[in-house]
Structure 1
Amino acid sequence: MITDEPLADAAASLRAGGTEPSAYLESLEERTERVEPRIETLLDEPNRWDRLQREARALEARFDDPAARPPLYGVPVGVKDIFNVEGFPMKAGSTVPPETVTGPEADSVRALREAGALVFAKTVTTEFAYFEPGPTRNPHDTDHTPGGSSSGSAAAVAAGLCPLALGSQTIGSVVRPAAFCGIVGLKPTYGRIPIGGVLPVAPSVDHVGFFTQDVGGARLAASVLYEHWVPESVEEPTLGVPEGPYLEQADPAAREAFREQVARLEEAGYEVRRVDLLDDIGTINDRHQALVAAETALSHSERFAEYGERYAEATTDLIREGHAVGVGELCEARTGRGALRETVERAMDAEDVDVWICPAAPGPAPEGIDTTGDPVMNLPWTHCGLPAMALPADELGGLPLGLQCVARYGDDEPLVNWAEGIASAL
């Protein structure tokens, strides 16, 4: 179900005039009308295509000289419905009044618009970007989840409805759905993509991320979304495998597939070092859960007090769990982020590792859409704010299986460059 033209190619064609934005939208409209009813990735919008065509024609009139066209000229972008977008209501996957979650347009959306992108649609999210799923299905097999909480964004890109979509990650909401849907997902170093205008979940660990179909598209999107993106050439990386209890959280079949992926990378010439790491993953998991619960309770305190009866059971349980987290426990959880980062990077320095590689999820997408899958393979990297990417790597039982690549804090540019070679080798 993957379209022929991923982001970088589509953007180049639009900028050069090989395809006009209005004509490109016509092809997407046909595809969307055919595919969307089966996967349900987009929020309803009356007259969506009339609006998009008006905006496309205005863009064509404004930038009639191809040499003056911005990098994402005419590119339609999906936006997860916890991002504020001017002119669009906010629902956040919930039934609370939209005015209680609506605010100024998100910094990331504004950056995309300034780069010439068109807001294609608001995409489905789980309720308040936690675990209560929406209706979205996996484009590869509609009997399976696309992952979450950025379910609509990941599935829309995988199905070729738009070449770029915004998501967010507080535990595993970019990397996991990217892996389940067989596409690229990038979660940046904490704070490197501005998060203003995004409905908070747990601000200490909330990240803005995005989805594309390939690494070339991720590089282009990053150059727009990062405030200070500095392209650089890098030598081939040394890869590290985090052996121990963390890796054992993956399903046996997924671990075996991962070992085969590692072997393919070694055959391609990569040096791979196996390092004992994250032996205390149970403690890390508990600490992150306490942090997310406590900060979610704080983020929703006024709204939940008034509209708590409208919240889904999973979200309600999280908020009540957060009420039981003491101030000392919350402070310890926040402090643990930096301590874990130091531990991971000390191991990287000692073993001369540039990139950790590991499964992007415990296995392929689970059957059914009542759950979005387990984010446990993403959790430690989110907790300490390291940049992480999901790359399409394999199939298991006919469903995509992703590889997760993690670099040092701030090494987003090298990570994207390294990811291209890794993806090619796989």
Structure 2
Amino acid sequence: MLTDRRPLEPLVSALRAGERSPTALIDDCVARIDAAEEEVQALVPESGRRTRLRREADALATRYDDPATRPPLFGVPVGVKDIFHVDGFPTLAGSSVPPTAITGRESTAMRRLLDAGALHFGKTHTTEFAYFEPAPTRNPNALGHTPGGSSSGSAAAVAAGMCPLALGTQTVGSVIRPAAFCGIVGYKPSYDRIPREGLVSFSETADHVGTFTADVAGAARAASVLCDGWDPVRPDERPVLGVVEGPYLDQATPAGRAGLEAGADALADAGYEVRRVSMLDDIETVNDRHDALTAAELALSHAERYAEHGDQFADTTADLIEVGRGVGVDELVDARAAAREFRTRIEDRMREAGVDVLLSPAAPGPAPEGIDDTGDPIMNLPWTHGGVPALTVPCGRVGDLPLGLQAVAPFGADESLLAWGEDLADAVADVGAVDG
């Protein structure tokens, strides 16, 4: 295993207090690249990375020589999924399409991180245009297994200890699933809570910007910088938890369901009220609708690029674009409206059941063997379709492979979800091996 996770929150405290210098941290992170990157392949290659980062870290330390003035992410190296535009760096998007055809203004999310004192550690590998054509990245827990997709490199870089924070995106399951596969924390906010400007779009209706960290407190710190209107809360009471049951849960493997049950048992032992919530009986319809919606919007997003460079798209991506081109306008309009209605359905069912947070597997099971298949995002799809916030925390293992517990809250309740998430993560942290 090549894992070496660095919790973000204590690191930020040390950097801002002057107990650790940004330059020393950069040296540690680059040393970790030297130790693990040849096998993990999380990062898009960059000539002179150490020199650039040391220069930027030195300049940051000079600019904020007084600890009292240091911004919230002072000196934090951030890996950036290579569909985000970053000034001075080409966007390759995991594709053979020329970078000159994938240009755009710098990502708003990236700009917010830089303004908060973060350092751009480098681009991380992604599947082509954030779909299924795999990246070269491997799972640091078991190199013969996928790290998940499409935010493959971001999840693996955090899990391998190369950087303590990374940006990703989720259109179906591309933050929560790879975070679970790699044994770290993944956070997908409520739809549009983190601005999407400045990234290569897949689906206007379903794209979410999300983060990877080793700790929930770190995810909350990053969210306070990235999310619009962040207003931290300290809930007075523990949430009532609802374990999702029904056809949706039947999509998970026995290992995925065993991990969920082990997590639910640990939470009940910790004093949480855990209820069973039957819902999503029409999950097949929801799945089909989301698939049609995202395929159609992928075709729209890439229409001009595909017309000019279609022969340079991977077959898997081109095939989905062709499917999307066959989705009619009326079907697309209906699917967009249904996604908004589905969000209300989730919230209504949670209210009826008297629960604050829904629990489910973060993936069908552990990471599949091989790197030619990034795994199935099916367990994340309904929550992405509804645009509600989701968090995954490590919860059990099958051999060397981590499992994740997915926690979902009502739309806009991101602050509560992350505040609750720290204790939830602690309560399931000691869940050990489960039956695979």
Relative to the length of structure 2, the TM-score reads 0.97
Instruction: Name 2:198's counterpart in structure 1.
Output: 197
1:389 maps to amino acid: L
Runs of 4+ in 1 over 6 A off after TM superposition: none
Q: Using the alignment, how far apart are the partners of 2:120 and 2:165 within structure 1?
A: 10
The one-character-per-residue Cα deviations of 1:164-186 (angstroms, maximum 9, x if unpaired) are 00000000000000000000000
Q: Using the alignment, how far apart are the partners of 2:6 and 2:397 within structure 1?
A: 22
Instruction: Name 2:250's counterpart in structure 1.
Output: 248
The one-character-per-residue Cα deviations of 1:352-387 (angstroms, maximum 9, x if unpaired) are 110000000000000000010000000000001000
Q: Using the alignment, how far apart are the partners of 1:29 and 1:242 within structure 2?
A: 42
Q: CA deviation at 1:253?
A: 2.3
> What is the SS of the residue equivalent to 2:122?
strand
Does the CA contact (< 8 Å) of 2:6 and 2:158 recur in 1?
no
Structure 1 256/4 Cα, relative in aligned 2: closer, same or farther at 3 Å?
A: closer
The one-character-per-residue Cα deviations of 1:156-206 (angstroms, maximum 9, x if unpaired) are 000000000000000000000000000000000001001110110011010
Q: CA deviation at 1:256?
A: 2.1
Superposed, 1:214-229 pairs within 5 Å as 214-229=215-230
Q: Using the alignment, how far apart are the partners of 1:256 and 1:72 within structure 2?
A: 37
Q: CA deviation at 1:140?
A: 0.2
2:97 maps to amino acid: V
Superposed, 1:363-378 pairs within 5 Å as 363-378=365-380
The one-character-per-residue Cα deviations of 1:108-127 (angstroms, maximum 9, x if unpaired) are 00000000000001000000
2:162 maps to amino acid: L
Q: CA deviation at 1:78?
A: 0.2
Whether 2:153 is the aligned partner of 1:152: answer yes
Q: CA deviation at 1:2?
A: 4.2
Instruction: Name 1:239's counterpart in structure 2.
Output: 241
Whether 2:90 is the aligned partner of 1:86: answer no
The one-character-per-residue Cα deviations of 1:125-172 (angstroms, maximum 9, x if unpaired) are 000000000100000000000000000000000000000000000000
1:373 maps to amino acid: G
* Sequence identity percentage: 58
1:332 maps to amino acid: D
> What is the SS of the residue equivalent to 2:327?
coil
Whether 2:239 is the aligned partner of 1:206: answer no
Q: Using the alignment, how far apart are the partners of 2:9 and 2:403 within structure 1?
A: 23
Q: CA deviation at 1:323?
A: 0.9
> What is the SS of the residue equivalent to 1:278?
coil
Q: CA deviation at 1:421?
A: 1.0
Count of aligned pairs between the two proteins: 426
Q: Using the alignment, how far apart are the partners of 1:73 and 1:194 within structure 2?
A: 21
Q: CA deviation at 1:398?
A: 2.1
Q: Using the alignment, how far apart are the partners of 2:243 and 2:5 within structure 1?
A: 33
Instruction: Name 2:434's counterpart in structure 1.
Output: none
Instruction: Name 1:259's counterpart in structure 2.
Output: 261
**More displaced, 116-125 or 98-107?**
98-107
Instruction: Name 1:126's counterpart in structure 2.
Output: 127
Instruction: Name 2:180's counterpart in structure 1.
Output: 179
Whether 2:311 is the aligned partner of 1:309: answer yes
Q: Which runs of 5+ in 2 are unaligned?
A: 429-436
Superposed, 1:16-415 pairs within 5 Å as 16-234=17-235, 235-415=237-417
Q: Using the alignment, how far apart are the partners of 1:4 and 1:91 within structure 2?
A: 27
The one-character-per-residue Cα deviations of 1:230-272 (angstroms, maximum 9, x if unpaired) are 0111120001112100000000222122112211111111111
Q: CA deviation at 1:227?
A: 2.1
Q: Using the alignment, how far apart are the partners of 1:110 and 1:419 within structure 2?
A: 27
> What is the SS of the residue equivalent to 2:352?
helix
> What is the SS of the residue equivalent to 1:92?
coil
Q: Using the alignment, how far apart are the partners of 1:158 and 1:197 within structure 2?
A: 26
1:95 maps to amino acid: S
**More displaced, 384-393 or 25-34?**
25-34
Q: Using the alignment, how far apart are the partners of 2:43 and 2:172 within structure 1?
A: 23
Q: CA deviation at 1:397?
A: 2.6
Does the CA contact (< 8 Å) of 2:259 and 2:405 recur in 1?
no
Q: Using the alignment, how far apart are the partners of 1:319 and 1:26 within structure 2?
A: 43
The one-character-per-residue Cα deviations of 1:48-80 (angstroms, maximum 9, x if unpaired) are 111111101111111110111111111100000
Structure 1 155/4 Cα, relative in aligned 2: closer, same or farther at 3 Å?
A: closer
Cα RMSD of the aligned pairs, angstroms, is 0.9
Q: Using the alignment, how far apart are the partners of 2:192 and 2:256 within structure 1?
A: 31
Does the CA contact (< 8 Å) of 2:3 and 2:140 recur in 1?
no
Q: Using the alignment, how far apart are the partners of 1:64 and 1:26 within structure 2?
A: 19
2:355 maps to amino acid: V
Q: Using the alignment, how far apart are the partners of 1:207 and 1:256 within structure 2?
A: 29
1:106 maps to amino acid: S
Q: CA deviation at 1:350?
A: 1.0
Q: Using the alignment, how far apart are the partners of 2:393 and 2:15 within structure 1?
A: 26
1:239 maps to amino acid: L
1:80 maps to amino acid: K
2:278 maps to amino acid: D
Relative to the length of structure 1, the TM-score reads 0.99
**More displaced, 135-144 or 23-32?**
23-32
Q: Which runs of 5+ in 1 are unaligned?
A: none
Q: CA deviation at 1:4?
A: 6.2
> What is the SS of the residue equivalent to 1:179?
helix
> What is the SS of the residue equivalent to 1:256?
helix
